Amino acid sequence: MRYREWFLVGIFGATVLNLAASPVPASTFANIRVPGTEFIEASGLNNYGQIVGSYFLAATGTQHGFLRDRGILTDIDVPGATFTFPEGINDRGQIVGSYFVFESGIQHGFLLDRGTITTIDGPSASRTLLHGINIRGQIVGSYLVSGTGVQHGFLLNGATLTNIDVPGGNFTEPYSINNRGQIVGSYLDSNLRTSHGFVFSQGTFTTINAPGATLTVARGINNRGQIVGFRLGGSVPLAGFLLDRGTLSNVVIPGAPFTNANGINDRGQIVGHYTDSVGTQYGFIMN
């Protein structure tokens, strides 16, 4: 099954939120590893602690998705795909992500629900990415219109697709949606040089700028309104962040030169990935 009928709507209105940094919160973390890999990313999690992500096998040149449930990793592979990237999971266990077929050169979105995979493509799209899904089954992601270089963010609610484009911005990328319908993501400014995070709530976009950063990406939001993401520049080269009631804190794995925070649940657990001193990338879950 593929979604074929779309209803397109524009969304407008924006404000800007500039933040000051605060100390790193006390936390503990655990690695998420797959034997034989040098690249693994934890992309999202739900309130039951189930985690989705992907890992790369250099020996075969393939990217595999995974579900981690109570410490057990299960592969998620779309049949016929060269790469599979699960990114979001809700409390019903529905999973969204994207997959790439080498022969066609096209990237598709997918929904995995009770063992059934449904392909989801944006209208006239050469690339569709699904990033997040909430308890109501609302999905956020982006699509690239074939042959145009134009990218739109979107909200998919049932069979209705609504474009989400930050006014005055380029390449809007919504990453996560909570059960209240609040959406976070990123966009490029008009000169295509600076990436900003955003939160979209009740018809209004609010820009998120980490202090001193040239790149700010908001990746996850929970039902309490806590936001995680990552930023480039400022007090550390590349670090994750937690934005909680207006206070922005660094999320950094000790000794790691690069840390990305990708998702957060209502218990405050954070997932993401980090790179060690020799360039190996691990997934993590942080409490």
Encode pLDDT of 148-164 as tens digits.
988 999 999 999 999 99
Give residue 193's pLDDT: 80
State how far the Cα of 43 lies from the Cα of 67, in Å rounded to an integer: 10
State how far the Cα of 101 lies from the Cα of 265, in Å rounded to an integer: 31
pTM of the model: 0.91
Does the pLDDT at position 9 exceed 70?
no
Give residue 6's pLDDT: 35
CA distances from 144 to 49, 87, 152, 208 (A): 32, 18, 7, 24
CA distances from 83 to 97, 155, 208, 239 (A): 11, 24, 31, 26
Identify the band that residue 19 occupies on the pLDDT scale cut at 50, 70 and 90: low
Does the pLDDT at position 93 exceed 90?
yes
Share of the chain above pLDDT 90, in %: 75
**Is 1 exposed, middle or buried (CB count within 10 Å of its CB: 0-12, 13-18, 19+)?**
exposed
Question: Residues 154, 162: contact at Cβ < 8 Å?
Answer: yes
Identify the band that residue 42 occupies on the pLDDT scale cut at 50, 70 and 90: very high
Whole-number average pLDDT of the chain: 90
What's the rounded mean pLDDT across residues 179-192? 93
